[in-house]
Amino acid sequence: MPKILVLDPGHGGEDPGAVGKTTGKMPVLLKEKDLTLKLAKVCAEKLAPYDLNVKFTREDDRYVSLYERANIANRLKADYFCSIHINAGGGTGFESYVHSTAVEKHTDELRAILHDQIMAYLKKINVKEHGQGKKAANFAVLRSTAMPAVLLECLFIDTSTDAEKLADESFLQGLANEMAYGLARVLNLV
């Protein structure tokens, strides 16, 4: 029986999430909700060859509450939950989160596999971890899921160097590829 992975593209519908733009003569407006959906869909495509059932909390531009996102994963009895986000607030780089009060060693070990896989790619293109990189927080989607769960913050949409990368299709493809391979490793598919 295939394992179940739930991909959670952050925000959606009337909730754009963080917003930013590239600099230059032809600035590109970036919305977190669009980038997270694109990353989730490309990640799922990259996971297609594996014996894995990939589900989404949303597959289009619609709003899904934080608790409904967790409920979707719980109803499916998912093996792993991955919430995809783009950060904002004037920083730069990549970070990942697990739940702050229920950091089981197993959940943290799985997060480390995914985090390190993504960072190996990002370091090659001079993207660093934000702060300590691997963090814990009391986010609703992490608190409310009944399986190991991670929340990824993929660069800062409001920092010009990060925004330029987020507007680059080849960067997004590479990031989604590493997410997919990291998730396959987390689920013992490779």
Question: Which residue numbers are catalytic?
Answer: 153
CB environment 135-168: b (16+ within 10 A), e (fewer): bbeebebbbbbebbbbbbbbbbbbbeebbbbbbe
Find where tokens 């971890």 sit.
Answer: 129
| Cα–Cα dist 158/66, whole Å | 23
- Sign of torsion, CA 136 43 30 73? negative
Question: Residue 156: helix, strand or coil by DSSP?
Answer: strand
| Cα–Cα dist 15/9, whole Å | 12
